[in-house]
Structure 1
């Protein structure tokens, strides 16, 4: 019969294998599962005809808008109204019908994943009508401009995460002041790195005071929340903070109408990365930060600050720092100790 000491390595090996399988399941659900289930669900698109268009053309547009579909939600309106909806992010693309021609109108200020699907759907509709389509892009964005909002959000999270993790490992018991200083320093340096990269990728991106201020707010919110969790949980907080980062490109990079309803409700609805990504996309197009995003990141920064500064017990730094207190009476019972006390 195997002794308890002989069974322990086997038990730990099984536990480690189970933990690996659970990690694979969680990461698969949060990342690859999102991509694997992408499919349009009530994707808002507009079909537009002028008020003075021929009745036959209005009939085609009305029939298209009335066609039942689980994938597309059509908005029947005028060209002016459709472009206004596109500018307000209420639709991802517009099909303008005129005598003998069709125009697909897109916008560089809209989430690129939504724009791509909208162009595919509208192109198929035009082909089905037997027309040739001209594609017009409003507020065109460069490749870097389309990638920059999500990239900036993810990089700000990484800057604070690495800084907080290293501080938790290298500093045995960091005080409240050092945690706060580290979070604020990581925020400023992270914004500096992001701004430098944006200038390198596309120098035409507007980086005015409003954009820089929002970047700093996002960086501070991320770093303070991370510092707060690291204070409460120590390096064990990485089990929460790491997967949160993995959701950034998988979830925040998609529009909700392309996500499976489960992912939309459980992940996309609350992930902070989507608020920063959408707001930065608007700011890069000359817009302003929306109130919801400001409230989200202001609230995150406030909660993180309170947790960092709140008096209380610090989490244990990490197991390697633990010291086992062995008294004299215990040492006397160690193997061979009795021989050292013989005269």
Structure 2
């Protein structure tokens, strides 16, 4: 028996099975594939020795610097220089060597995935050299402070996406004004939700104008980009916008040195989530924004706004209540058609 669209149920069964396989393939590539291929590749670490360090201690640093390793890239410097490299996130951890002991220096401002690898490697090196090691964390961060930057990026994307998709489904035709109003309102409310979570998770997290302003910039950029694509493509834009969300925890949650080179080049290099995550992490720990962490979202906001303002016909959603004239009586030779021919 044929379907109302004239296609065989067998054909539809095969086609939907192919769609399911393609969805599974996409999910596997964007989520589990990233996690399954995590491997250290030139993770930047520093070993620090003072200018008056005895020869045995300096020999350990020189041995590390000369050791060929694909997993770790070593830099030898003084303690002050090494801590400066850590503050600028040029390295993810520092091993300070001294006679009779070592200090593993970490920073709460560094991506937690990089900090975890740095602590494991540096502690293992100290133990291998027979040196007792203590761990010191600069700008210590709570569990909420470590997860908040990535969570905020994902939540702001979801807030704009859910609002934009619902608006597109519920409105047959919308002008520029209502669409911009919806995107702006979604951005403001999304920032409010994120700020409320920050206060709930850890009241010590800073919520100054710099943090709130950056959250607003990211939220507006996300909402306008989504509004533009939904205006042009309708609900079909969800096939692009929804998978992008999957990259937030899988890709932006890792430092690039832990990602497979393919994922690093094709996903991490351009995903906006990593810019927002790292920018917010810097602000929450007393740092400052890089230029790219601002201009990426200014560019997204401008591009989305231009698409929303672009003249032309909007994509129309497929509605179940739309009336379609199929001219059944004329096609099938029903009495109605016969009466018109004989009249």
TM (norm. structure 1) is: 0.95
- The answer to whether structure 1 residue 243 and structure 2 residue 243 are counterparts is yes
- The answer to whether structure 1 residue 297 and structure 2 residue 274 are counterparts is no
Q: Which deviations, in whole Å up to 9, do the C-alpha atoms of 1:32-89 show, x marking residues without a partner?
A: 0000000100000000100000122111111111100000000000111110000000
Write the mapping of 1:71-90 to structure 2, written as runs, cut at 5 A: 71-90=71-90
Structure 1 residues 332, 119: closer, same or farther in 2, change over 3 A?
A: same
Partner Cα distance (1:3, 1:211) in 2: 58
Partner Cα distance (1:208, 1:6) in 2: 61
User: What is the match of residue 201 of structure 2?
Assistant: 201
Structure 1 residues 125, 175: closer, same or farther in 2, change over 3 A?
A: same
Tell me how far 1:3 sits from its aligned partner.
7.8
User: What is the match of residue 323 of structure 1?
Assistant: 323
- The answer to whether structure 1 residue 160 and structure 2 residue 137 are counterparts is no
Equivalent residues, number:
340
User: What is the match of residue 184 of structure 1?
Assistant: 184
Structure 1, 281-290 or 215-224: larger mean CA deviation: 281-290
Partner Cα distance (2:14, 2:69) in 1: 49
- The answer to whether structure 1 residue 228 and structure 2 residue 236 are counterparts is no
CA RMSD of aligned residues (A): 1.9
Give the conservation status (yes or no) of the 8 Å contact 1:234–1:318.
no
Partner Cα distance (1:77, 1:230) in 2: 52
Q: Which deviations, in whole Å up to 9, do the C-alpha atoms of 1:135-154 show, x marking residues without a partner?
A: 00000000000000000000
Partner Cα distance (1:25, 1:92) in 2: 33
Partner Cα distance (1:91, 1:136) in 2: 15
Partner Cα distance (1:38, 1:3) in 2: 48
Structure 1 residues 179, 319: closer, same or farther in 2, change over 3 A?
A: same
Tell me how far 1:195 sits from its aligned partner.
0.4
Q: Which deviations, in whole Å up to 9, do the C-alpha atoms of 1:295-320 show, x marking residues without a partner?
A: 10000000000100111110122253
Partner Cα distance (1:245, 1:300) in 2: 16
Give the conservation status (yes or no) of the 8 Å contact 1:214–1:289.
no
User: What is the match of residue 19 of structure 1?
Assistant: 19
TM (norm. structure 2) is: 0.95
Partner Cα distance (2:293, 2:2) in 1: 59
Q: Which deviations, in whole Å up to 9, do the C-alpha atoms of 1:317-341 show, x marking residues without a partner?
A: 22535431345xx534446435994
Structure 1 residues 299, 133: closer, same or farther in 2, change over 3 A?
A: same
- The runs of 4+ residues in structure 1 deviating greater than 4 Å are 2-7, 338-343
Q: Extract unaligned runs of 5+ from structure 2.
A: none
Q: SS of the counterpart of 1:47?
A: strand
- The answer to whether structure 1 residue 288 and structure 2 residue 288 are counterparts is yes
Give the conservation status (yes or no) of the 8 Å contact 1:108–1:146.
yes
User: What is the match of residue 9 of structure 1?
Assistant: 9
Q: Extract unaligned runs of 5+ from structure 1.
A: none
Write the mapping of 1:20-59 to structure 2, written as runs, cut at 5 A: 20-59=20-59
Partner Cα distance (1:12, 1:148) in 2: 44
Q: Which deviations, in whole Å up to 9, do the C-alpha atoms of 1:109-142 show, x marking residues without a partner?
A: 0000000011111111111111211000000000
User: What is the match of residue 132 of structure 1?
Assistant: 132
Give the conservation status (yes or no) of the 8 Å contact 1:172–1:321.
no
Partner Cα distance (1:30, 1:74) in 2: 31
Partner Cα distance (2:2, 2:244) in 1: 42
Q: Which deviations, in whole Å up to 9, do the C-alpha atoms of 1:270-312 show, x marking residues without a partner?
A: 0000000000000001222221111100000000001001111
Q: Which deviations, in whole Å up to 9, do the C-alpha atoms of 1:138-171 show, x marking residues without a partner?
A: 0000000000000000000000000000001111
